[in-house]
Structure 1
């Protein structure tokens, strides 16, 4: 029987959530509560399912998102998530059909790009996506860090205080928006996100109550938030507890130093593990012995798919004045064309052109360059960018690279 790929409705939710769990190797049937909680956060008009004899065998959905470009511009993008195909129905073009429907709708809406966090690297390049940010995870062995454990409050002034979930919901959204305005690669967080993060909504993934800590500047402004939980373990009457950092949002170096110093000084904690931090995070440099911060993972994180190249390139700022002609290839057509970029620190203009190209590259390579994390010279050496004029890759790097590397702290 031919597969029926379509937008779902309320009557499909249980079957859809069951298929998603199967795709993510979670065998148990979803509870009624899980289906209701997930359904409340989904735009059904942007949610697809593939059905075989009435049974959902593949899932796909998207939602609106705001992405910060270099320079602070807020881009409207199409965030893709919950992509699964049941093992019984792979290699039949199901994902390709769902992706084509979704990208066509995003292009028609005027979204500048699509985003996702890839569970597996090889899947999404064929759809025009490229890795645009890198995420790093650290584990700090506190005994080796060189910190004096006799903590007496932030050395830089201000104060740290424990907070409950309601207080975090009051201060967290505004704090994150300040971070998002200043750090490219960061995406927005909805009210629903904050409710899940503070236990105000039941999480489909289970819940363990964390500790929340706020940093207030000497002027009383909330400039930082730390959320962590603890894995408790004692050996021979000695504590060997690990703190797992779920979230650390800081909008000033003073706040970041104060929150790390606080956590690394908590009694009975002997190790601290992070989730996805920026690859140029301050953490190792804050330790008297940076080697105490062991790198446990460094990998691609946010992937980007250009849909409107002039809108993307004109939205960001650039490190220097200059122009560049890019020939972008895209079998699906969304990003294909030859574009003249006139760029500078104050902004840019991007238009189609008939001038000879300086660089030729695919949509995925452009995605990797866009937020400033990748080098055109490096991609050219790997054969992923073609330099049509000598020195064009180096000129692209001069324009596109950013002093801070882009960072997306969230999985969506």
Structure 2
């Protein structure tokens, strides 16, 4: 007797399944397939459809149709991604990727991805981006993990913070605000953060409406608390959205957790004040940080950094380079030098040999070349290096980068790596 798991059966792709952009009349069927793929209640509620409809862009939502029924989904939308140095590059943001369980292993995702990336290249997008629900899927389409995410849980009583704390000691203040204030103040604050944070992505008005309850995919929505930090001169430099549970132990002692939805800060003073505020709320004994950069300052703001325990650490933003020249010229560099890269991309748009010349002022020039390569890597490896988080020396040790010239990987690190790690605050 043999196990079917041990001897998987190859599935022949179905050429009669139509993969194409959906029409307005197919929007509800597409959302049904989306819900099935994400293991949610299949039939979308009217409120859910109404909230999602503003996200519909003709040509940017793809579906696979078998006998008239949608069985796979993919949506993309326009986005800006901040490169090292602060330049914003146009990105093809990919989301809502599903294949119904009845139609797995038929090449449907490959066909949808090929259509979307070809359209992105034609539009002039420099990169494509996504947040990967599963690690093994997207490398085969040229995506590589470019930022990572860490969540800490702070044990407040162990933190060493003064429980009598009443506010910032730098002349600033923390104020509670409502959702309307967040919609007014948040976008400008986020833009200030985005231009200084490699890996950050743009947020639309639609995003702020969802974050504040003006729109919701769900019939019920739990309003979070919002607080802002204002500097001594009254300027908004930080903002946080958080929720708290309601848990008391058998001796009637509060054991509540404050969970951060998102926290934005454009100064260390704002970060310190907002984390200190969250840890000072009566009845709160734990604070969950939400999605932070792996080198976030949070633990070191605490007198006892061991009170902040890592509870999640994972890859986060994945990037697929579509235009190598524009991507490498968009970012800045930490040293002067020249590097020739052989980029392997199969039949994709990024393959070729490129000469990168970084100047002492941090700018870079890139062009196709016939010179001998210093490093050979695939396009996914290039994506991991591009935002400055990954090490070429490390990838070489893993066999994902090949040195054609001794010392080239170390030189690549001197050019490409950043002093602080890139970070994407968003899930999309």
Q: Same fold (TM over 0.5)?
A: yes
1:14-25 map, 5 Å: 14-25=28-39
Out of 199, 207, 223, the position equivalent to 1:193 is 207
Query: How many residue pairs end up in the alignment?
Result: 412
List runs of 5+ in structure 1 lacking aligned partners: none
Out of 362, 378, 385, the position equivalent to 1:346 is 362
Report what 2:44 is aligned to: 30
1:348-387 map, 5 Å: 348-387=364-403
Report what 1:305 is aligned to: 320
Report what 1:274 is aligned to: 289
SS at match of 2:214: coil
Report what 1:398 is aligned to: 414
1:57 shift after superposition? 0.5
SS at match of 1:121: coil
1:206 shift after superposition? 5.1
Q: Does 1:121 align with 2:135?
A: yes
Worse-matched range after superposition: 363-372 or 154-163: 154-163
Out of 242, 249, 270, the position equivalent to 2:264 is 249
1:205 shift after superposition? 8.4
1:206-244 C-alpha deviation (Å, 9 max, x unpaired): 521110001000010000001100011011211001000
Question: 2:205 and 2:329 mapped to 1: Cα distance?
Answer: 30
Report what 2:425 is aligned to: 409
Report what 2:405 is aligned to: 389
1:333 shift after superposition? 2.6
1:115-152 C-alpha deviation (Å, 9 max, x unpaired): 00000000000000000000001100101111111012
Report what 2:112 is aligned to: 98
1:343 shift after superposition? 1.0
Asked if structure 2 preserves the Cα contact closer than 8 Å seen for 1:137 and 1:277, the reply is yes
Asked if structure 1 preserves the Cα contact closer than 8 Å seen for 2:229 and 2:274, the reply is yes
Q: Does 1:260 align with 2:275?
A: yes
Question: 1:204 and 1:401 mapped to 2: Cα distance?
Answer: 41
Report what 2:298 is aligned to: 283
Question: 2:216 and 2:318 mapped to 1: Cα distance?
Answer: 28
SS at match of 2:233: coil
Report what 1:151 is aligned to: 165
Asked if structure 1 preserves the Cα contact closer than 8 Å seen for 2:49 and 2:217, the reply is no
Q: Does 1:319 align with 2:334?
A: yes
* CA-based RMSD: 1.0
1:4 shift after superposition? 1.2
1:43 shift after superposition? 1.0
Question: 1:33 and 1:209 mapped to 2: Cα distance?
Answer: 17
Give the direction of change, closer, same or farther, for the CA distance of 1:70–1:206 in structure 2 (3 Å limit).
farther
Out of 203, 209, 212, the position equivalent to 2:223 is 209
Out of 334, 337, 346, the position equivalent to 1:331 is 346
Asked if structure 1 preserves the Cα contact closer than 8 Å seen for 2:333 and 2:416, the reply is yes
1:6-65 C-alpha deviation (Å, 9 max, x unpaired): 110111111100100100011341111211211221213111001111111100010000
State the TM-score, normalized to the length of structure 1.
0.99
Asked if structure 2 preserves the Cα contact closer than 8 Å seen for 1:156 and 1:258, the reply is no
Give the direction of change, closer, same or farther, for the CA distance of 1:324–1:205 in structure 2 (3 Å limit).
farther
Report what 2:182 is aligned to: 168
1:332 shift after superposition? 2.5
Question: 1:81 and 1:268 mapped to 2: Cα distance?
Answer: 38
SS at match of 2:195: helix
SS at match of 1:305: strand
Report what 1:130 is aligned to: 144
Question: 1:192 and 1:68 mapped to 2: Cα distance?
Answer: 20
